[in-house]
Chain A
Amino acid sequence: MVEKKAQAADPAVSVKQDPSLALAPKALGQASFFLHLHPPKVKISSLQIRTTWGLGMAALTLVFLLLTTGLALAFQYQPSPDKAYNSLHDFAALVPFGVWIRSLHRLASEGLLVVVLLHLGRVYLSAAFRGRRLLNWFVGLGLGLLVLALAFSGYVLPWDRRAYWAGTIGAQMLGLIPLFGSGLRALLFGTAEFGETALLRMYVFHVILLPLLGAVLVVMHLWRLRKDGGLAVPLQTASPGPVAMISSWPHLVLRESAWIAAVVAIFGWLAFLRPAALGQSAGAVLGKSAAFARSGALPELERAPWYFSGVQEMVSYSAFSGVVLFPAALFLALVLLPVLARKEGALSSSSLFTRWPGDLAALLTGLVVGVLGLVMWEQQRTLGGMSDPAALVVWAGFIIAGLTGLFAHSWRLAGRRLALHLLAAYLLLTWVVLYCRGPSWTFIAPWSTGAGL
């Protein structure tokens, strides 16, 4: 709709007279399905790389990579505890390019998590969720949760030891949610012990349910994008008045093609150079799971997948902090405050990073409070109940958000500061789990070299 109005206002660049349209080769005319996925014209300022960083397109490309490699894996994979590991092992050993395909699937999934987080960060920090785009922001948040769920359900499918422990810990963390946690766990994992039923259900989620849901949400996300005025523009050009438009072919399509090719090339080479390892089989020892739990728990450390290890660290302080308090703070920053701020106009600044002194301060408070909390926790000198590192970070975040809201009179700015504060703390806790936690969850400083645990 918006595009048409703009064309009427500016006849010099209307569709029929645009010379670049005639340049579409005939072969592309046959493939016009792909061209019709695009709007005929886009705003020129949307094409600047610094407007979107092409993150949405990168995410879509990774989804495409995941679908194709996942299809190849699905031809071989068998979702039962005694066959799952060996089926993937055989996939790597016998199928031509098997290692590469599996590595690509794994790397693309982790890359998708990172890209989606960056995409979310870009949209959030440039306040692109304001006005009528708020609905699409929520769709995007749903997609983000879906990516997390897909990553987790995929992580447990190889049924190696890491998968087994990740699943067990995930199920335990889910059970800690008050009121409906145990019911949810029963629904998602079946039995209390992470076993045969859980594997089958994770498989169904990973292969059928979540991808279907994801397809629906992706379509909705893109459709809303068109309905809400197309690709994002930098803030200074969002002012009313004539908008400079340009035809999608070839300008947008060229950029997209280059971007897609680059993402595929980068991840293809990464998968070639860093093949994903298949851990030790859990099934071989899982015959008697009690004996396995006793002998298998140590000396190897049980960790959640890296994107959940921050939550695992928080749960190690207190279940309430990890599964209630911190998610509640995130909910406040990502959902409630944008809703509260929907009446606010555009920010006066034009760039993602113009408010960097305040943003840097928010990041620093997250780190500092996190480190202080950790030191106090490890020295066992906490300030009583609800003062573990995670809780301290959340309380500090609330204070920061409250002060910002009070003095800057902007809920959006309050949310921005809170989100950055939480992000810094979460990254810190993730780093602690990955590099400083030893057996029995003892703190081992990374500069003291261990025995290659």
Chain B
Amino acid sequence: MRATDKNAQSGPTQRPERQQAAQQTLQQSSQQKHQQGQGQNEASPGEQADNFAQGEHAGQGRSAGVFRWVFTLSAILLLALAVALGWREYGKKWRQITRQHPAWQQSVVEIVGQAGVDRCATCHQDLLDAATDKVHAQIIKSKHPTRILGCVVCHAGDGHALDFAKAHGRTGAQALLLKSELNTRCVQCHLPGSIAQTQGALRGLQVFRSLGCASCHRLGQARASADAQAGVGPDLDNIGRWTRQDLLSALREPTRAFGKKTEMPSFAGDLQRDPEAAQALLNFLRAQRSDLSTVRARGDSEGPCIACHALQPARGFAHHRCSWIKYQAKDWRCSRCHQAEFLTAPKHGQASCAFINAQRDTCVYCHRSRKNQRTGFVHAL
């Protein structure tokens, strides 16, 4: 380094010669060292490297050879790993698809809060648009826009994942729901009986109660009060993460699943007697996914109002969308203003403002935040 610094000071033209000279002296000195070594050990430079390996310390010598092999083998393995990694990354199905399309797509799920995004549309691009969607009936599509709700809320699976197996939950508990199970998921947002599609869930709930499950297990906040005795067994809010097979074997032989001390009786006889009921029950249990039903969580424990009303502002929710109101606030809940009977009634399509508690503080609750800042008045409805 010092030699080159001097060269830079004395000018560029002289640099090559001086560098050569410096290199020559370096080489000479190293050759001298070589010769000294030769003189002492009486061996050629090439053999010197292996002096240690072959010479006085035979034990270490063998291990040195082993280490050369270990090093070579590891280097080969690492190269192979690089190739394998690249191959796997390049061969991913979604990368193949996005190579044809400009970019990967995601539906940003607004309502479903913490779920954030669904990336299903990266591959299922035709589903993103109601016009090109051939799979879903128009009625479902129009009321459950994919761009807002995404897919996972109904279908389960893993919305964030792009890998085929992972996204479709082939690897475990995130498995996509079967078509029969899908029909029982509507109750995650819609009250049982409020729409025709909840019939499957109603049947499942009926079996659930008739077999006596509800006397030990709680299932869902809204139905908890009806099953006051529950709490012996664990809550089944998220039991849908179990596979159909696990559910079935646990129902048939609880001692095998939970140990001999379990208090759960076997339902093998009941399930065999009525296969239709067994299927209805399994469908129903598989659809219990509290981790997906964040729509409901946003509506708080008061009821799944937001499921319909936030999606369809024209139907009675319009005035809540006033920009003055921060209805996203954490403690926002329908029952602040609406009476309890109104919230639990299965059909309330004809509801009017008569259901709102006629108390002044119900208005102030939402409208107070800007009260003094601008007009000094409470903003009128």
Residues of A within 8 A of B (CB): 17-23, 44, 47-49, 82, 86, 89-90, 92-94, 96-97, 100, 244, 246, 250-251, 254-255, 257-259, 261-262, 264-265, 268-269, 272, 277, 280-281, 283-285, 287-288, 291, 294-299, 438-439, 442-444, 448-453
The smallest beta-carbon distance between A82 and chain B, in angstroms, is 6
Q: Which of B78-86, B133-141, B142-150, B274-282 contacts A (4 or more CB under 8 A)?
A: B78-86
Contact of A450 among B38, B60, B171, B257 (CB under 8 A): B257
Is there an interface contact between A254 and B51, defined as CB atoms closer than 8 Å? Answer: no
Distance (Å) between the CB of A255 and the closest chain B CB?
5
Chain A residues with CB under 8 Å of B116's CB are: 86
Given A19-B40, A277-B171, 20 more pairs with CB closer than 8 A: A17-B36, A21-B33, A23-B49, A93-B162, A97-B89, A250-B49, A251-B52, A254-B67, A262-B73, A265-B77, A268-B78, A280-B241, A280-B291, A284-B114, A284-B115, A294-B235, A297-B234, A299-B239, A443-B259, A448-B256
Question: Residue B74 at the A interface, CB < 8 A?
Answer: yes
The reply on B250 being an interface residue by CB < 8 A is: yes
Which residue of A has the minimal Cβ distance to B241?
A280
Is B237 part of the contact surface with A, judged by Cβ < 8 Å?
yes
Q: How far is the CA of A100 from the CA of B249 in the complex (A)?
A: 35
B163 at interface by CB-CB < 8 Å: yes
8 A Cβ contacts from B228-275 to A = 234-239, 241-243, 245-246, 249-250, 256-259, 261-262
What are 15 contact pairs spanning A and B, CB under 8 A?
Answer: A44-B57, A48-B60, A244-B57, A254-B67, A254-B68, A268-B78, A285-B290, A287-B294, A295-B234, A297-B234, A299-B242, A439-B258, A442-B262, A450-B257, A451-B256
Question: Is the Cβ of A22 less than 8 Å from the Cβ of B81?
Answer: no
Q: Contact partner of A269 among B33, B48, B81, B234, CB < 8 A? A: B81
Q: Which 8 A-B pairs have the closest CB atoms?
A: A19-B37, A298-B234, A261-B74, A451-B257, A258-B71, A295-B235, A265-B77, A295-B237
B250 surroundings in chain A (CB, below 8 A): 451
Q: How far is the CA of A86 from the CA of B242 in the complex (A)?
A: 22
Are B71 and A257 in contact, with the CB atoms below 8 A? yes
Residue of A96, A251, A264, A297 touching B78 (CB-CB under 8 A): A264
- Digit string of B51-63 for contact with A (CB within 8 Å is 1, else 0)? 1100001011001
B256 near A89 with CB under 8 A, answer no
Determine which of B48, B119, B259 lies in contact with A93 in the assembled complex, contact meaning CB atoms within 8 Å. Answer: B119
A285 touches B70 (CB 8 A): no
CA distance A284 to B137 in the complex (A): 29
Within 8 A of A (CB), among B168-218: 171, 173
Which of B74, B163, B256, B297 has a CB less than 8 Å from the CB of A264?
B74
Name the B residues within 8 Å of A298 (CB-CB): 234-235
* Closest beta carbon of chain A to B163's beta carbon, Å: 7
A77 CB, min distance to chain B CBs, angstroms? 15
A16 CB, min distance to chain B CBs, angstroms: 8
Instruction: Give Cα A36 to B34, complex, Å.
Output: 22
Q: Is B338 an interface residue (CB 8 A)?
A: no
Q: Chain B residues with Cβ under 8 A from A449's Cβ? A: 256
Picked from A92, A246, A451, the residue with its CB within 8 Å of the CB of B246 is A451
A277 cross-chain contacts in B, Cβ below 8 A: 171
Contact check, B70 vs A258: say whether CB atoms are below 8 A apart: yes
Residues in B neighbouring A49, C-beta threshold 8 A = 63
Contacting residue for B259 out of A97, A296, A438, CB 8 A: A438
Give the distance to chain A from B137, nearest Cβ to Cβ, in Å: 29
* Structural contact, B30 and A22, CB atoms closer than 8 A: yes
Determine whether the beta carbon of A272 is less than 8 Å from that of B81: yes
The yes or no answer to B221 lying at the interface (CB within 8 A) is yes
List the A side residues contacting B291 at CB < 8 Å: 280-281, 284-285
Within 8 A of A (CB), among B98-130: 114-116, 119
When A259-B70, A264-B74, A451-B249 are in contact, do A287 and B297 touch as well, CB less than 8 Å? Answer: yes
Complex-state Cα separation, A18 to B80, whole angstroms: 38
In the assembly, what is the distance between CA of A448 and CA of B257, in Å?
Answer: 9
| A262-B160 in contact (CB<8A) | no
Contact of A272 among B34, B85, B160, B290 (CB under 8 A): B85
Q: Which B residues are in CB contact (< 8 Å) with A97?
A: 85, 89
By the criterion CB–CB under 8 Å, are B85 and A100 in contact? yes
Q: How far is the CB of A135 from chain B (nearest CB, A)?
A: 30
Q: CA separation between A23 and B45, bound complex, in Å? A: 8
Q: Which residues of B have CB within 8 Å of A439? A: 234, 258-259
Taking the complex as formed, is B222 at the interface, i.e. its CB lies under 8 A from any CB of chain A?
no
| C-alpha spacing A68/B228, complex, angstroms | 54
Contacts of A90 in B (CB 8 A): 160
A265: contacting residue among B36, B67, B74, B85, CB under 8 A: B74
Instruction: Confirm or deny: B64 has a beta carbon within 8 angstroms of a beta carbon on chain A.
Output: yes
In the bound complex, do residue B160 and residue A86 qualify as a contact, i.e. CB atoms below 8 Å apart?
A: yes
Contact yes or no, B41 A296, CB < 8 A: no
Asked if B243 contacts A452 (CB within 8 A), the reply is yes
Given the contacts A93-B161, A264-B78, A20 and B257 also touching, CB distance less than 8 Å? no
Residues of A within 8 A of B236 (CB): 295
A44 contacts across to B, CB distance below 8 A: 57, 60
Q: Is B8 an interface residue (CB 8 A)?
A: no
**Which single residue of chain B is at the shortest CB-CB distance from A12?**
B40
Q: Which of B36, B48, B78, B161 contacts A261 (CB 8 A)?
A: B78
Q: For the complex, is B22 an interface residue (Cβ under 8 Å from A)?
A: no
Contacts of A19 in B (CB 8 A): 33-34, 36-38, 40-41, 43, 45, 48, 51
Contacts of B88 in A (CB 8 A): 272
CA separation between A82 and B292, bound complex, in Å? 15
Q: How far is the CB of B110 from chain A (nearest CB, A)?
A: 15
Also in contact, A265 and B78, with CB within 8 A (given A19-B40, A280-B173):
yes
Q: How far is the CA of A20 from the CA of B292 in the complex (A)?
A: 67
- In the complex, what distance in Å separates the CA atom of A272 from the CA atom of B290? 33
Q: Which A residues are in CB contact (< 8 Å) with B256?
A: 448-451
| Most A CB within 10 A of own CB, among B85, B243, B246 | B85
B261 contacts across to A, CB distance below 8 A? 442
Contacting residues, chain B, for A450 (C-beta < 8 A): 256-258
Asked if A442 meets B258 with Cβ closer than 8 Å, knowing A44-B57, A261-B70, A291-B221, the reply is: yes
Q: Looking across the interface, which residue of chain B has its beta carbon closest to that of A437?
A: B259
Question: Are A265 and B246 closer than 8 Å at their CB atoms?
Answer: no
A299→B246 CA distance, assembly (Å): 12
Which residue of B81, B234, B238, B258 is within 8 Å of A268 (Cβ)? B81
Q: Are A94 and B162 in contact, CB atoms less than 8 angstroms apart? A: yes
Q: Which listed residue (B71, B243, B246) contacts A254, Cβ 8 A?
A: B71
B75 at the interface (CB under 8 A from A): yes
When chains A and B are docked, how far (Å) is the Cα of A285 from the Cα of B296?
12
B77 to A269, Cβ gap below 8 A? yes
CA–CA, A449 and B253, complex, Å: 11
CB distance from A447 to the nearest CB of B (A): 12
